[in-house]
């Protein structure tokens, strides 16, 4: 079985530096050439419109009387509550991450519980349940590659195969905090376990924090590119923070949902997530799902070892929600030349030709102030929707008497995927035929 190398990030960054050294003025350092309104294939925001798409807007509350979430940097305590590492190691309280999570949740404390993880590779799933308090998982060094949580998991395996792979030694048992999560998946009556149960790390914890670690679904190239979701990290909780985290996989590497404890997608929740200084790698719909997620200073890398075409984002934003995914000050790179796509909507409720404007999910994404390399398709950077297969339709609006752009940025008859002030070879807007 081919597996994913967690050292690939270093190789990619070194290659990028080598390319930059060949030019006195690298394309990513040149001013953006993106001009509003863009084209129907590549809509571009104006400066005034872009002011709506900032972190505070994405982190606003559905409760109008509640202030937006304003996350601060993750704080690492002098003394953690639990330490995970090899048996007999200094300060070690548990030899598995799941055991430490269970111990933290059993305390039923409203205080945040800090779990330090010593360098090493930790094979197997980790489930962080909903509870009264929040959990912080962090590697004890600044190198995210020093702590690796790994496992190959395929959404297309049957439930019995999944059960044997995930729980070979009985770490999920009745009475333990995460039992309900495992039991929900093992009780499925479908032919396959599906995307909802294919995550290496799955959290329903509000306020979850992760720092200085790597999560890898190592299914890799051992399966074809048809329909094998293989999630590295799935989060369902609100106010989640990831910093200096590497997420490695292929399809649906990072899956963000608004699910409840019965593992059902909801229509009345908008969980919020902040990802900073991180690296996310995959090939198809690398970041997918519901919720408001802001990526700041994050590297997105599309690999094409299974498929020549791929897509970074697959949002399933509810039609009555204005904010889905925002990437700012980030970098997008793809192998190949002018073939990859920045994303596509995921019309999760709809079958082919079943999109209903204002009723079906209408994914929302903004990529701004970022660098896009030559691997992306300039003429068609956004793909047709998953599920309904509706063709991508950008909203260019109309121009008023003073040249101002007039358009409804949430028009349900158009896609809600936008760019602003991006640069690099892959950011060029190709003029469309009249």
Contact 239, 71 (CB under 8 A): yes
Annotated catalytic residue 224: no
Q: Of 200, 183, 330, give the one whose Cα is nearest residue 254.
A: 200
Cβ neighbours of residue 224 closer than 8 Å, sequence gap 6 or more? 306
Centroid of chain to Cα 200: 14
Q: Is the dihedral of CA 65, 68, 71, 72 positive or negative?
A: negative
What one-character-per-residue DSSP string does 336-374 give? Answer: SSS-BEEEEEE-TT--TT---TTTS---EEEEES-EE-T
How many angstroms separate the most distant Cα atoms in the chain?
Answer: 75
Cα 166 to Cα 170: distance, rounded to the nearest angstrom: 9
Instruction: Give, in degrees to the nearest 5, the angle at Cα 334 between 332 and 336.
Output: 150
Catalytically annotated residue among 236, 283, 285, 299: 285
Pairing of strands 233-235, 147-151: unpaired
Residue 360: C-alpha distances to residues 226, 356, 386 (Å): 24, 5, 12
Cα 330 to Cα 276: distance, rounded to the nearest angstrom: 10
Q: Is the dihedral of CA 282, 287, 293, 295 positive or negative?
A: positive
Can you give the C-alpha Rg of the chain in angstroms? 21
Cβ neighbours of residue 192 closer than 8 Å, sequence gap 6 or more? 155, 156, 157, 158, 159
**Catalytic positions:** 285
């Amino acid at each position: 079985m081919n597996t994913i190398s967690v050292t690939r990030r270093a190789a990619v960054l070194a290659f990028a530096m080598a390319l930059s050294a060949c030019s006195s003025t690298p394309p990513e350092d040149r001013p953006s050439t993106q001009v509003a309104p863009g084209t129907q294939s590549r809509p571009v925001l104006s400066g005034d419109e872009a002011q709506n798409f900032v972190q505070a807007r994405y982190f606003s509350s559905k409760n109008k009387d509640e202030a937006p979430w304003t996350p601060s940097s993750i704080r690492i305590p002098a003394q953690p509550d639990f330490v995970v590492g090899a048996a007999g190691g200094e300060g070690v309280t548990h030899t598995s991450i799941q055991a430490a999570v269970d111990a933290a949740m059993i305390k039923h404390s409203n205080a945040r519980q800090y779990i330090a993880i010593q360098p090493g590779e930790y094979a197997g799933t980790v489930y962080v349940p909903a509870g009264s308090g929040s959990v912080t998982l962090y590697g004890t060094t600044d190198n995210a590659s020093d702590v690796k949580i790994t496992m190959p998991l395929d959404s297309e395996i049957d439930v019995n195969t999944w059960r044997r792979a995930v729980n070979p030694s009985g770490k999920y048992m009745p009475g333990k905090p995460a039992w309900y999560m495992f039991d929900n998946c093992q009780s499925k009556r479908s032919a396959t376990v599906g995307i909802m149960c294919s995550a290496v790390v799955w959290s329903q914890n509000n306020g979850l924090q992760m720092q200085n670690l790597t999560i890898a679904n190592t299914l890799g190239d051992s399966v074809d590119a048809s329909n094998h979701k293989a999630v590295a990290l799935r989060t369902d909780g609100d106010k989640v923070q990831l910093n200096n985290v590497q997420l490695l996989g292929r399809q649906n590497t990072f899956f963000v949902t608004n699910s409840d404890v019965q593992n059902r997608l909801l229509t009345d929740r908008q969980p919020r997530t902040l990802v900073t200084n991180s690296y996310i790698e995959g090939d198809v719909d690398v970041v997918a799902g519901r919720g408001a997620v802001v990526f700041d200073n994050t590297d997105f890398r599309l690999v094409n070892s299974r498929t020549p075409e791929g897509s970074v984002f697959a949002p399933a934003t509810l039609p009555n929600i204005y904010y889905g995914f925002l990437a700012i000050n980030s970098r997008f790179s793809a192998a190949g030349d002018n073939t990859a796509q920045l994303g596509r909507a995921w019309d999760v409720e709809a079958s082919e030709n079943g999109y209903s404007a204002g009723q079906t999910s209408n994914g929302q994404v903004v990529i701004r102030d970022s660098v896009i390399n030559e691997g992306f398709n300039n003429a068609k950077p956004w793909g047709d929707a998953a599920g309904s297969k509706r063709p991508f339709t950008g909203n260019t609006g109309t121009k008023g008497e003073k040249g101002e752009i007039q358009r409804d940025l949430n028009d349900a008859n158009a896609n809600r995927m936008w760019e602003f002030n991006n640069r690099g070879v892959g950011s060029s807007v190709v003029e469309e035929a009249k």
